Structure 1
Amino acid sequence: MRGRLCPLPGTFAVALAVLLMPFAALPALSQNAGAASAAQPAAEVQFGRDATRLPQPVQRMRQAIMQAATSGDIEALRLPIDMNELPPVFAKERTPDRIAYLKGASADGNGREMLAILYSLLTTGYAIRNPGTKDEMIVWPYHAALSLDKLTPSQEVEIYRFLPPARVKEMAAAGKYAWYRVEISPDGVWHSFSKE
């Protein structure tokens, strides 16, 4: 009948009402790094798994690091380190010889544990922080940008590849990811491989 609205089932009516809302009234759908405070909104974060969708310079650097990691020879990391104008940060303190530092930080004494960590991180999904801005950064693992107390079962399985459940539980209780991460900027510069 013209001029009259027929009553709609509850769920369908709500769905239709949302579709007919003005776009300005809808909440923003961008993914945020965490809960935003009233004064300081969280930076925007995008998540991805397909490394071929990343800028070519990022793909080249990631591939160079992964080739070094799978070689089993910590010295092979000198190539991706030297691809940077400035070497990546591996620790809060100054590390004049980054390879010697990684050997010392590695439980096996040869740096192979660090190579395994690098490989594990770079084969997870990634997070893109501040996309499209001068501060854009690609970060592995993507878990570094998630609330660890809200991981899905599949995200838990993935983080358990490189962290034991007890450690993940500790970090979730502390409210932040606090283990190794890799950061590469869109221009292919390897910024860091360090704990935060």
Structure 2
Amino acid sequence: MRAIATAFALVLALGLSPALAQNDAASEGSPTTPSTDVNQRAPKPDVLYDPGLLPDAVRETRDKILEAALAGDLDKLRSIINSFPEPPTLTFGDQGDAIEAMKSQSNDGKGLEVMAILAEVLEAGFVHVDAGTPQDMYVWPYFAQYPIDQLTASQTVELFKIVTSYEFKEMQEFGAYNFYRVGISADGVWHFFVSGD
């Protein structure tokens, strides 16, 4: 079951819905890339901002992670990670120790830069995907599931709180948001904090 959840997390981390991923697999050999496919076929999801709309279990997990991230408290974050049967996916490779994985991704070498990104991501708008299914998930920021070429000016300003204009330009060329995103399932389990590429 965890393998299925991890595979689903990776599909979400790449900015695809499971349905689109299945369609892409079925049409292998098509010249259209999956990221472009997302922008052309996926409807714009409902973007939510109020954490009060989250189920209690999801809101509690999000709040705990956010508190640790804002404090730069890696020990508290480790405690949160260890509270789950399996650690969240933090890298697409062999991540080993979760906190060490975060430190290795952080330009400051201490994990604090990545903690700042984690906080920014969790303070952004979010989306609810695959509601009522075993893959029911809340994803931050909503850009991970939103057509990157259909952002309004105000949404682009929101995105610039998380990424630079250079990174945004690369995303436009790629066809989808490919920076850090967080996934928490409807039962409050933290599944991933990864950056797609």
TM-score normalised per structure 2: 0.76
CA distance in 2 between partners of 1:82 and 1:121 (Å): 21
CA distance in 2 between partners of 1:130 and 1:181 (Å): 17
The aligned counterpart of 2:176 is: 176
CA distance in 2 between partners of 1:154 and 1:115 (Å): 25
2:180·2:194 contact (CA, 8 Å) conserved in 1?
A: yes
The Cα RMSD (Å) is 1.6
**In the TM superposition, what is the alpha-carbon distance from 1:47 to its structure 2 partner?**
2.2
Corresponding residue SS for 1:182:
strand
The aligned counterpart of 2:188 is: 188
> Does structure 1 residue 35 correspond to structure 2 residue 44?
no
- Report the number of matched residues: 159
Corresponding residue SS for 1:48:
coil
Unmatched runs of 5 consecutive residues or more in structure 2? 1-37
Aligned-residue sequence identity (percent) comes to: 38
1:74·1:110 contact (CA, 8 Å) conserved in 2?
A: no
CA distance in 1 between partners of 2:84 and 2:58 (Å): 12
The aligned counterpart of 1:107 is: 107
Higher helix proportion: 2
Unmatched runs of 5 consecutive residues or more in structure 1? 1-32, 37-41
Q: Which structure has the larger Rg?
A: 1
CA distance in 2 between partners of 1:169 and 1:131 (Å): 31
Cα distance, 1:185–1:58 mapped onto 2, change above 3 Å: same
Cα distance, 1:135–1:34 mapped onto 2, change above 3 Å: farther
The aligned counterpart of 2:138 is: 138
The aligned counterpart of 1:69 is: 69
The CA deviation string for residues 22-51 of structure 1, in whole angstroms up to 9 with x for no partner, is: xxxxxxxxxxx6432xxxxx4884321111
**In the TM superposition, what is the alpha-carbon distance from 1:135 to its structure 2 partner?**
1.5
CA distance in 2 between partners of 1:180 and 1:66 (Å): 15
The aligned counterpart of 2:121 is: 121
TM-score normalised per structure 1: 0.76
CA distance in 2 between partners of 1:151 and 1:46 (Å): 13
Corresponding residue SS for 2:46:
strand
